[in-house]
Amino acid sequence: MSPRRDRPSTDAPRNGARKPYTRPSSAHRTAREKLSKRLSAGDPRSDQHPQRRIPVGLSTSSVFPAGVEESFRLAHEIGYDGMEVMVSYPKDSQDPDLLRAYSERYELPILSLHAPTLFFLQGLWGRDAWVKIERTIEIAKELGVPTIVAHPPFRWQGKYAHGFVEGVAALEEEHGIAIAVENMYPWRLGVRELLNYFPDHDPTDEEYAHVTVDLSHAATAGDDALEMIERLGDRLTHLHLTDGSGKTTKDEHLPPGEGNQPCAEVLRRLANRGWEGSVLLEVTTSSNAEARERTLRQSLAFARHHLGHHLDGDDDGSAAGDVGSTTP
């Protein structure tokens, strides 16, 4: 779980300089070069000395286009520790009574709610972006959910974008719920990148008390996920476990181990430092029910193995097999 922490005053100074609207599209090349150097140097994987059993939850978006209840059912059957609910157009994703019923029926706590701040959800609950976050907060308070995940604003969102950092801090202070702002990625237009998020697609340099790192978004942006989690320290509240190749402009959300992101090393480092947050699987799965379930089982085995769950006596790790073999 991720209880709200007091907002730091000096951990992440903001750069007051005006940010450009575009920049040369070099992040992918730079990321590939850094990864190549790290691998050629050996980049030894951390030994496993977990200080805490970190819960592994399932995002309802991982089961799309199946519904919210199906996500709970699969998570219960497979053995996930909890859920992240993407608040979206389906009514049960917005209804605290139904969500409570799912949580009780399938014996799974809701670890987080994802506010409807995605581009394709701009029409949900009207155009006022603060309403989207505030209504998600009200659902979280009814259900006792400790964390809300939100995307940074788009540049064209005016006052909302320019007051977002301060507004998030004010809402956290008022309601006592963590709003973990998620890293995103630029949109690419030929040889240029459109810096469409404000203050930036990378929230680690802003004064957010709580941040979500998504490994697929890091791949698309060309950001170094290991540097991000080290830079954030205790401000890292949430991890979206997923993968990406870093070779496309698309947000791939591959299962962990199927891209080139350091998924295994991220999990090991977080477990070894006794990180207090939650890992939520957020991947694209097949519409074929059998293939989807296979992906969700393999991803959970990957996460548990590299978090060291097999070392605490509750999980022998036998399901994991060689799940770490494809990850740097």
Global pTM value: 0.85
Provide the residue-wise pLDDT of the chain in tens; the chain has 328 residues: 445 555 443 344 444 555 666 555 555 556 656 666 665 665 668 899 999 999 999 999 999 999 999 999 999 999 999 999 999 999 999 999 999 999 999 999 999 999 998 765 677 877 899 999 999 999 999 999 999 999 999 988 899 999 999 999 999 999 999 999 999 998 776 656 777 899 989 999 899 999 999 999 999 998 999 999 999 999 999 999 999 987 877 889 999 999 999 999 999 999 999 999 999 999 999 999 999 999 999 999 999 999 999 997 655 444 443 444 333 3
Go through the domains of the chain in sequence order and give each one's CATH number: 50-307 (3.20.20.150)
Q: What burial letters (b/e) apply to 149-188, b meaning 16+ CB within 10 Å?
A: bbbbbbbebeebbeebbebbbebbeebebbbbbbbbbbbb
- Prior bond to 65 cis, omega within 30? yes
Three-state SS string across 248-277, please? CCCCCCECCCCCCCCHHHHHHHHHHCCCCC
Cα 306 vs. chain centroid, distance in angstroms? 17
Query: What six digits make up the tokens of 246?
Result: 């870093």
Q: Which residue has the tokens 């190749």?
A: 245
Query: What six digits make up the tokens of 44?
Result: 């030894």
Q: Which residue has the tokens 């090393």?
A: 265
- Prior bond to 24 cis, omega within 30? no
- Prior bond to 199 cis, omega within 30? yes
Cα 142 vs. chain centroid, distance in angstroms? 23
